[in-house]
Structure formats: structure tokens, C-alpha cells
Chains A and B, each alone.
Chain A
Amino acid sequence: MDTAKLEFLRGTLDVLILKSLVWGPQHGYAITNFILRQSDDTLLVEEGTLYPALWRLESKGLLSAEWGLSENNRKAKFYRLTSEGRRRLRQEIKTWQAYAAAVAKVLAATQLPEPEEAR
């Protein structure tokens, strides 16, 4: 599968970003790496989408940002989940799991269900 071509569903990126910050503040580059590694190199987040998404989340108050030093002593902007962001993440995960389960169920169908009127 060509990783670059995988299109994100609307809102998917947001929940992935929120999830990647669960264990503590991260900078943008680390977030891309996290998503890439965690999805077994399937989901490559492009920079052109990642940063606007981060800024939007920050502006919405789901993330807060602070300047700090990276592992190799470079000045980097670290994002952290706000309590609002944490709440949103929980809610999004629930929605996602329900959605994924529903889609999986439909795709796993082997035959037409019996018509309801018959009963």
C-alpha cells in the first residue's frame, strides 16, 4: 500500500494527534514519527496537514503550547493536552470504536439479512 496516498478521513488526524499526546508534551516532528511508527509505517502525516491541524487544535483550546528544548537541545514548540483536549479525546475514541465496529460488521456480512417484513 502506498502510504503517501492514504487519505485521512475528516477529523481522523485530530484524534490521532490528541492520542499521541496522551503520555506527555511532544513537538510536531515527534507526533509524525509516533503516528508513523504506531501505524506500522502506514499513516504518514504530511507536514502541510499536521501543523495547521496542531495550530487549529491549539486555537480551539484542546492543546496548549510551550517552547522547550528537544532531545538534541534545539528550541522546539511542545504541545500538551489541555483538560478539554483530554475530554475530547475520550469522546472521540468512543465514537471511533463504535464507528469502526459498525463498519467492520457491515463489511463482514456473508449474506443478505432476512427481510424484516416477513416476520
Chain B
Amino acid sequence: MTTTPFWRRYARFFGADPAADVKDELSFHLEAKADDLIRQGMSPEAARKEAERQFGDLRAVERVGQKIGQKTEKRRRIGDYWNDLLHDVRYTFRTLRRDPGFAIVSLLILTLAIGANVAVFSVVNTILLRPLPFPRSNELVWIAPPPSECGWSCATYSADAYEEFSSLSRVYQGVTGYEAFTTPENFRLTGHGEPVPASGMEVIGNFFQVLGVQPALGRLFTPEEARGPVTPNSTGTPVVLLANAYWRRQFQSDPAIVGKAIELNGAPVTVVGVLPESFDYGAVFAPGAKADLFVPLSLDTERMWGNIVTLIGRLKPGVTVSQALDDANRVTPDMYFNVKYPESKGRYKGDLVPMPLKDYVTGKLHRSLIALWLAVGTILLIAGVNLSNLLLARAAARAKEFAMRGALGASRGRIIRQLLMESLVLSGAGAVLGLGLAFAVIRWLAHQGSLALPLLNSLRIDSQAVGWSVLVAILTAMIFGLLPGLRMAGGNLQEVLKDSGAGAGLGRKHERIRAALVISEIALACVLLVSAGLLLRSFSKVLEVDLGFEPDHASSMNVEYDESAPTDEARVMKRTAIFQDVLARVSAIPGVQAAGISDYLPLGPNRSWDTPVPKGKVFAPGELPEPLVYVVSPGFIRAMGIGLQGRDFTWADGPKSEKVIIINASMARRFWPGEDPVNKILMRGDEQDRVVGVVDDVHEESIESSLGAQVYYPCTQQGPSRAQLVVRSSLPPSTLAPTLLRTLRELNPNQPASEFRPIRMIVDHAVSPRRFFMLLVAAFAGLGLVLATLGIYGVISYSVTRQTSEIGVRMALGATAGRVQRGVLANTLRLTGIGIAIGTVMAIIVAKAITSLLFATSPWDFPSYLGMAFALLLVAVASGYIPARRASAINPMQALRNN
């Protein structure tokens, strides 16, 4: 056994065969034995028989051999596979190190694309896919009337209605709700030096039980406390539950807080529990807002206040939303607005429509998020195409290497595997970096408290997001690795080896594929650019909307006052005196141009009172809207910068003088069409209000919704629910705030250090979801544009390199540099033109699909398309110019000699 015999080369030509090996080995044994026996003098026939006899059960041994052989073979194959894999990985790292430019560019592209994908997936997962952060959250429903114009007052229910509904309904495990009209900083935490403002929610006693929230410390409200009042001048022990974040911030996570009394609005209140960290009221019910503490809502004291509570129910297991709707329709005809008034029976007919709580919280975002997801998916596709292009260019350069490896025995599969391994290593690294990027983005997003998106607090990179990124990475690797791999391995090896590379048939074929890739890249970028353009235009249209007030140079602060007095009249007098004093002192601060007080501010919560009718006119019931109500001081309209016709309220409009109101333009048109409403009389039951002024429509709920009727009452005649001081001044709020607070403290030492919020901030908050989506889509469009630029540059640059000798010949024959440049640029523009043409068609389809996301912008919006075409042509010329310059600088002699 010294030399490898000739036949060995073909012995197992069709792969390993353990069964044949065993047979061969054993038959050799028998023959050798027989040889020995023959040498001892046996006849060949007898020797063979004797050898077989001595061997025993040949079949059994063969079977054992086959079994062991198969096992060995399998183990060896796996071992080989791992060895090859390891080799591939090592080889990949080596080649990538040799070409750091390629590695860095592709890693950058992948990181951005995968990072964006994972981040958007996490947002989509948190807001759309994951259930709400409550146990069995699919049982929870939000019960509200169909949308209407009169704001929160028409989306809420009276205390009596709540009680009747929860006792008459049969499909709920529990019904609860919260007071919908609370504003931020409605509480004062006192007893620790200066009063500190706190935002508290009044919730129906079983609120947390129905939602299934368990306290982190202490307990929830008991049924007794749920009924009990919290106002200091009523009996019973007031209790409070603390939000986890507030407990940590304000009470330094005091573990013994339960049972202690804290001072709220100057009266002691017992802390009965701390809510868990997982419960964030604002994140679910009021995106962008925060709630520090929760007190039980006293239904008895609220009974006279009309519609004040929202309704949330937990359905019994197995009950569907449509069954709940049937049940609500059964109940509503027997429900009273107020049991004291029999005529209010049946007022809620058709007004109790349950919908899944999840839909209420996130329903409005559904389309935006899906659009965002598609946008980011498009980015991934563009990135994949781009990398495919880069890899193809590299593959073309490496054609000889692969041909050599093929000639040395590497199989087609092995070469594809090698190329796939390269893309897998790249996209794997991209996924890791992208995950890091997504992590940073998500961390930042989760702390954007001012962003009015729900559930942001629970935003995080979880196992699902990681799984998603792995999936995305593999998918990308497949997209961009497989195509060049197949192309490379499919090439004719000999031709490549023989050929010098440039001008070869393979090169030309490559170029066609690469051109197709660039065209598809440009088309996809088109879609992104047009979508971003449309959203951008919508956003600017939203910003251009006449808000009805002047948000710049105005800021607001919550003012604390004590109007307690024995009679209504005394209360009005006291309040008037306080407000007059406050406004006089604040107006006297240098730099303050105007100041006023209102109980509600625009773009926030709001309410309505009753349905007034114009005196002497007859309207069908339900024809007139319920106007939103604002109780304001003289000067407020000027401080807010609302346009006014007629006169403002004065301090002389007292409780004894004629009742006066100011209405908005929409209401004037509806109530007195074609007439001058000033000096007309509006009837509220028996009460008469004289219209003294008409103001511009103010956007109340959101900038994008249509406008309803609004009525302003003077705070000297009607009771405001709180006082929001609005100060107009050219001074920056931060400069003004200390002086203002000092002035207010001089008047009332109980004034807490409330936030002095620029009115602009309220507007920004209202447009924040739209800005968020617009910015993201615009960022993706920008990324798409950059990727498309890279793609165009790559293709043109490569084709110039490939045509070096051709260009040399043409220049030697008299073509000018300008002509060569024009040729290259024309080529670039041809590709771009085809891409834009295809992309425009795709963009129109997409624009139609996202029409509902647009505001005052048509999906045919010409400037968006024009801008897209302009941007793409610009980057095309820019990225075609560099290779064109290079082409025109070719030295004909050198180019010809090189070939």
C-alpha cells in the first residue's frame, strides 16, 4: 500500500457508498483467507467454502457494517459542512478586509435599513400588534356615542346614566369610567414647603378593578371609598392612589408611604396604595399627558353636572362587541340623563356604542402606522437592490477568482454558498448594528413624553423585535446575495478565464441586470419621495390652518384661587375681585401686553352645557348644535389673539347687570344666517343672554377637525371650573415665569409652582403625531434618495470603466471630451427617466391608497411629483457627472495600449 492506484480516483465517483465499502472489505477478507488455504494445499473451491464457513454469518456482519458506515458517513458530512462553513466565514472576513470601502458602505446601508425596520416594527408592534397592557384586554370596551361636534360633553355620560347603564346592562363584568374634564396640574401638593402642582384624575371607584390593575403597594379603593367624597369640607376619609412614576419622583419611592397622609389642596388625604409601573394612564387614555395621582370620583357630588364621565366596560367572557351593542340598544331607551327629570328618559338612545378599547386607543393611527411600515419595508427593498448591485460589481471584478476556483473543483453550489455567506455575514453584522441603532431610537422615542402617541411608555426592543431583525437580515441577505451568486456561478468558466474581462459577454449581461436594478431602485425611491412630499405638503397645510388665535408670544399658567363663600352671589363677587386683582397686577408686569383668564384652553379638553336657541326663531329639535362653552375674563380674547367684532366683556358685566355672551363665527352663521348677530338674544331655557361680540372660530379639539359652535360666558356672570391665565408678551416665557409666579404668590401664597406653558407648545403637541409620521417618512425618502444615488453612481461608473478602451478609440478617432461626457450623462438620464416613469405610476397608486392620511392635499398634488422628479434628476446628474468627467479624462493612447 504505497501508491494510490489509478482506479482509486473513480472508486467512489458518485459519492460515498458505505454499503459497497463493507461488501468490498469483507469479500477481500474471504479471498485472502481462501488464498492462504489454497497455499496450504486446498482446492480453490474447497478453500472458498472453508473461508465462508469460518467467517460465520456474513450477512449479519454486513448489516452491522452498513449501519456503522452510514453513521460515520453522516458524521463526516456534518463535520465537512462545518469545516467548509468555518472556512467560508474566514474567507469572507479576509475578502471584506481586502475591500474595506465596499464593506463600510454596505454595512452602513444595512445598518440604516435594518435599524429603521426594527425601530418601526417595534413601534407598530407596541401600538398595533401587542394587546393593551391589561389582563385579558380583549374584553375591554370603550363606550362612546358616534362622533359629533360638541366635544367631550357629547362623548361622555352623566353620573345617573353611568349608574343606570352599569346596573341594567347584562353583558359586562364591570363598567367604570373617569372624569373627562380634568386638566393638568389640577391639584396642589402642600405641606412640603412651597406648594407643588400635581395632575390628578378622578376615576370611578372600580376603575382599576375593571382594568385589572393590581397595586404595587397597598390596595385599591374600597367600595366605601369609591362612594366617598374627596372634597375637604365633606365627611368621610379622603383617599388617594399614587402613580408609580409620581411616587418615585415626588416621594423618593418611600416604601412606607401607604397609610401616610399627604396634603392635597391644603387638606390631608390618606395614601392607600401605589400603582404598578406597568400602568401609565396617559399612555393609554391621554397620549402625551401624565396623571400623578388618582382619587375616587364622587358620583353624588357630580350628579348635577351633566355629562362628565367616560364609560369603559369589561365584557363577560365570550361576549362579542356586537352583542354588547345589542344589549346597549336594549338598555338606552330606559336610561335617564338625570333621574330627577323624567323627560330626560331615553336621551341617550343610540348614544352608547361599545368598541374595543384597543381600537379607541390606537384606531386612528392604524393607517399611518401601516403606511410607515410599508415605507420602511421599501427602504429595505431599496437597500437590498443597492447591495445586490454593489455585489454584482464586485462579482464582476471577481469573475476570474471564481472561475479559477471553479476550475480547481469548487462546485457551483459551493460558490453560491460562498457568496451567500458573504451577504449573510454582512447582513448579520448589519442586523447587530441595526439593532443597536433601533435600540437607541426606541429609547429616545419612549421618552418623548410630549409626543401624542399612545403606549409609547411600553415601547422597547423585545424578543419579537430581535426575531424580526433576524428575519429581516436573512431576507435581505437572500435578496442581495442570491442574484449575484446565481449569476456568477452560472457563468461560463472557460470564457471568463480566457477573456480579459472587459467587454466580455458576461460583462454586458451584468450591465443589463444592473441597469434593471438601478431602475427599480429609482422607481421605489420615487414612491417614497412622492409619499413624503404629499405628507410634507399636508403638514404644512396643517400648520397654515388659521387656528383662530395667535399661538406665538402667549403662554399660560394655572392660577389657584379660593372663591369659597356662603352664597352664589358672594362667590361671584369674590371671584371677580380676585381675577380683577390678578389681571391688574399681571398686566402691570413690564413687557406684558395683555392678560386674561379662561377655564379651558384651545386644543385640549372642552365641554358644552346646554342647547341654547335664538330668541324668536324656531328650529327643529336636533338641528342646532350644542355649543362648546368657555368661561373667560375680560381681556382673555385679546390675550389669546382671537379676532373680535363687537365688544369684549368688561368688569362691569356683573351678576346683576344684563347677561352677555360672545359667540363664534360658525355659531353666528348657524343661528342667525345672513344677519348681524350682535345684540341678538339667545335663550337658555328661561335665561336670556345678549350677544355682544362675535369672535373667529377657534380650533378646539384638533387642528384637522371641522369647527363647531362656541360660546363664551363672562367669568363675572358664570362660574368657571378653573382659571388658566394667558399672558401675551414678547418676553420669553422663561424670563417672565419667575416674575409672574412671584406676583401670583404675593396675591395667594397657595399658588403652586405651575408650569408656564407657551401656547405654541399646545399647538405643537396637537400636531406632534403628524409631524412624527411626516418626519419619519421624509427621513426614509431621503435615505431612499441617497441609496438611489449610490446605485446610479455605481452603475454608470462601472460602465465607464468597462468601456475605457471603447471610449479611448472614439477619442482617438476625434470625439471631443464634451461629447464623451454628454454620452455618459445621457446614459445616466436614460436610466433615471425610465425609473421615474415607472415610479410615477407606482407613486400614483400609493398616493391613492394613502389619501386618508393627507390633509387638504390631493393625491395628484403636482408640486410633490414635480419635486420628486426634480430631486431625482438632480442626484442623477450629480452622480453621473463624476464618471462622465473620468470618461472624458481618459488618455486614448494609454487606454488603447492597456488593452
Q: Which residues of A contact B (CB under 8 A)?
A: 25, 27-29, 46-48, 51-52, 55-56, 58-59, 66-70, 72, 74-78
Residue of B with least CB distance to A52: B64
Residue from B21, B60, B69, B72 having most chain A Cβ neighbours under 10 A: B72
A94–B11 Cα distance when bound, in Å, is: 40
Q: Is the CB of B35 within 8 A of A77?
A: no
A10–B28 Cα distance when bound, in Å, is: 27
Which among B56, B64, B65 is the interface contact of A46 at CB below 8 angstroms? B56
A45 to chain B, nearest CB (A): 12
Residue from A25, A55, A59, A69 having most chain B Cβ neighbours under 10 A: A55
Q: Is the CB of B68 within 8 A of A69?
A: no
**Chain A residues within 8 Å of B60, by CB:** 48
Known: A51-B25, A51-B65. A29 touches B71 (CB 8 A): no
**Chain B residues within 8 Å of A28, by CB:** 25, 28-29
Known: A25-B1, A29-B28, A75-B28. A48 touches B65 (CB 8 A): no
Q: Is the CB of B55 within 8 A of A47?
A: yes
A59–B64 Cα distance when bound, in Å, is: 13
**Chain A residues within 8 Å of B4, by CB:** 68
A52–B57 Cα distance when bound, in Å, is: 13
B-side interface mostly: helix
**Chain A residues within 8 Å of B25, by CB:** 27-28, 51, 76-77
Which among A52, A56, A74, A75 is the interface contact of B61 at CB below 8 angstroms? A52
Q: Is the CB of B65 within 8 A of A55?
A: yes
Q: Is the CB of A77 within 8 A of B21?
A: yes
**Chain A residues within 8 Å of B68, by CB:** 52, 55-56, 58-59
Q: Is the CB of B32 within 8 A of A29?
A: yes
Residue of B with least CB distance to A44: B54
A-B contact pairs, 9 of them (CB 8 A): A29-B28, A29-B33, A47-B54, A52-B68, A55-B68, A69-B5, A72-B32, A76-B32, A78-B1
Q: Is the CB of B11 within 8 A of A59?
A: no
Chain B, range 16-40, C-beta contacts under 8 Å to A: 21-22, 24-26, 28-29, 31-33, 35
B69 to chain A, nearest CB (A): 7
Known: A47-B26, A51-B64, A51-B65. 7 other contacts (CB 8 A): A27-B28, A27-B32, A55-B64, A59-B75, A68-B5, A72-B32, A74-B31
Residue of A with least CB distance to B12: A67
Known: A69-B1, A75-B24. A47 touches B32 (CB 8 A): no
**Chain A residues within 8 Å of B55, by CB:** 47-48
Residue of A with least CB distance to B55: A47
CB-based closest 4 A-B pairs: A68-B1, A55-B68, A29-B32, A59-B72
Residue of A with least CB distance to B79: A61
Task: State whether the Cβ of B8 lies closer than 8 Å to any Cβ in chain A.
Answer: yes
B774 to chain A, nearest CB (A): 64
Q: Which residues of B contact A (CB under 8 A)?
A: 1, 4-5, 7-8, 11, 21-22, 24-26, 28-29, 31-33, 35, 54-57, 60-61, 64-65, 68-69, 71-72, 75
A44 to chain B, nearest CB (A): 9
A22–B365 Cα distance when bound, in Å, is: 78
A13 to chain B, nearest CB (A): 14
A59–B54 Cα distance when bound, in Å, is: 26
Q: Is the CB of B56 within 8 A of A55?
A: no
**Chain B residues within 8 Å of A56, by CB:** 68
**Chain B residues within 8 Å of A68, by CB:** 1, 4-5
**Chain B residues within 8 Å of A51, by CB:** 25-26, 29, 61, 64-65
B98 to chain A, nearest CB (A): 35
Residue from B24, B32, B35, B64 having most chain A Cβ neighbours under 10 A: B32
Residue of A with least CB distance to B21: A77
A41 to chain B, nearest CB (A): 14
Q: Is the CB of B28 within 8 A of A70?
A: yes
A62 to chain B, nearest CB (A): 12
Q: Is the CB of A47 within 8 A of B29?
A: yes
Q: Is the CB of A76 within 8 A of B28?
A: yes
Q: Is the CB of A29 within 8 A of B29?
A: yes
Q: Is the CB of A70 within 8 A of B61?
A: no
A52–B71 Cα distance when bound, in Å, is: 13
**Chain B residues within 8 Å of A58, by CB:** 68, 72
**Chain B residues within 8 Å of A76, by CB:** 1, 25, 28, 32
Residue from B1, B26, B61, B68 having most chain A Cβ neighbours under 10 A: B1
Residue of A with least CB distance to B5: A69
**Chain B residues within 8 Å of A55, by CB:** 22, 64-65, 68-69, 72
Q: Is the CB of B61 within 8 A of A47?
A: yes
Q: Is the CB of B64 within 8 A of A70?
A: no
Residue from A28, A47, A48, A52 having most chain B Cβ neighbours under 10 A: A47
Known: A67-B11, A69-B5, A76-B25. A59 touches B56 (CB 8 A): no
A69–B69 Cα distance when bound, in Å, is: 21
**Chain B residues within 8 Å of A47, by CB:** 26, 29, 54-56, 61
Known: A47-B29, A48-B60, A55-B72. A77 touches B65 (CB 8 A): no
Residue from A25, A72, A75 having most chain B Cβ neighbours under 10 A: A75
A58–B73 Cα distance when bound, in Å, is: 11
Residue of B with least CB distance to A25: B1
Residue of B with least CB distance to A4: B54
**Chain A residues within 8 Å of B1, by CB:** 25, 66, 68-70, 76, 78
B885 to chain A, nearest CB (A): 62
**Chain B residues within 8 Å of A25, by CB:** 1
**Chain B residues within 8 Å of A69, by CB:** 1, 5
**Chain B residues within 8 Å of A29, by CB:** 28-29, 32-33
**Chain A residues within 8 Å of B7, by CB:** 75
A72–B69 Cα distance when bound, in Å, is: 26
Known: A25-B1, A59-B72, A77-B21. A52 touches B56 (CB 8 A): no
B430 to chain A, nearest CB (A): 39
Which among A27, A48, A67, A72 is the interface contact of B57 at CB below 8 angstroms? A48
Q: Is the CB of B69 within 8 A of A77?
A: no
Residue of A with least CB distance to B68: A55
A2–B229 Cα distance when bound, in Å, is: 107
**Chain A residues within 8 Å of B56, by CB:** 46-48
**Chain B residues within 8 Å of A75, by CB:** 7, 24, 28
